[in-house]
Amino acid sequence: MRRVLITGGGSGIGRSIAHSFADAGEAVTIVGRRADALEETANRHEMTCIPVDITDENAVNALFDEPFDVVVANAGQGRAAPLTEISLEEWSTTLAVNLTGTFLTFRAALRNMPSGGRLIAIASTQALKGGGRIAAYAASKHGVLGLVRSVAQEVARRGITCNAICPGFVDTPMAEAAVKSVMRGRGLGRQAAENMVVSNNPVGRLITTEEVASAAVYLASSGAAMINGHALSLSGGEI
C-alpha cells in the first residue's frame, strides 16, 4: 500500500482523485483550507484529513515528516477578468496558490520521496496556450508546466517521475462560475452558455472529474514509469 497525498482534496478534481486512489487500496491523505470539505470527501473512505494552506511554507514542510510515494499538487484557483481589471493582490494570490503552492509541495515531497515516487501537477490546457481574460491563471499554469519539466530532469535518475495533467473545462465549481458569467454577460440560457464555454473542446462537453482522476491514477502506476516531464492534454482534442 502506497502513501498518497493530494492537495486541494476537499472538492472537485481533488475529491475524485482522492476517491480513485482510495478505491485502488492506497493510503490517502488529503489537504486543503476547509476542514468540512475534507471531511466530506473522506466520508466514502478512511482518509487522513489535514487542513493546510499550501502557500504556508512551514505548514507544507510539516506534511512530509514521513515520505509519500505519490504526491498530487491539485490545489488551485482562478477567475476570468480582463488584464486591466486584475489587481496586483489578485495576481499575486493566483500565482501563490497555483504556482508557489506546487513548488512548495514538490520541494518538500522530494526531500524524502523514495525511488518509484510520482509527482503529478494538475495544470490546465491554459498551461499550453493563452486565452483572453485569464492572464493570471494562464501565467500561473504556464509556470507550473515549466516547473514540472525542470523537476522531471532532476529526479529521473532517482526513479521518480514528474508530470502534469492539462485538462480543459472540467465539471467543477470553477466551470460553473464560468458558465454563470457567460449567462450574465451575454444574456444566454444555461445550455447555450455551457455550449459556449466548451466550444473549444471538439467533444463538446465538460470533462468529468473522474476522467482527470483516471489520468492521475495511470501516471502514478508502474506502467507509466517512462512518462516523465509530460503535459498530458485531457481536452477532447482541443490541444
Question: Residue 75: which of 49, 56, 101 has the closest Cα?
Answer: 101
The three-class DSSP label of residue 122 is: strand
Dihedral of CA 132/133/138/140: which sign?
positive
> Is the distance from CB of 220 to CB of 24 less than 8 angstroms?
no
Alpha carbon distance 217, 79 (integer Å): 28
The three-class DSSP label of residue 85 is: helix
Q: Which of 21, 64, 106, 137 is catalytic?
A: 137
The three-class DSSP label of residue 238 is: coil
> Is the distance from CB of 13 to CB of 213 less than 8 angstroms?
yes
Looking at the DSSP bridge assignments, the partners of residue 27 are 3
Radius of gyration of the chain (CA): 17
> Is the distance from CB of 17 to CB of 216 less than 8 angstroms?
yes
Helices (runs of H) and strands (runs of E) counted in the chain? 9, 7
Question: Residue 173: which of 15, 2, 4, 6 has the closest Cα?
Answer: 15
218 is catalytic: no
Q: Which active-site residues does the annotation give?
A: 137
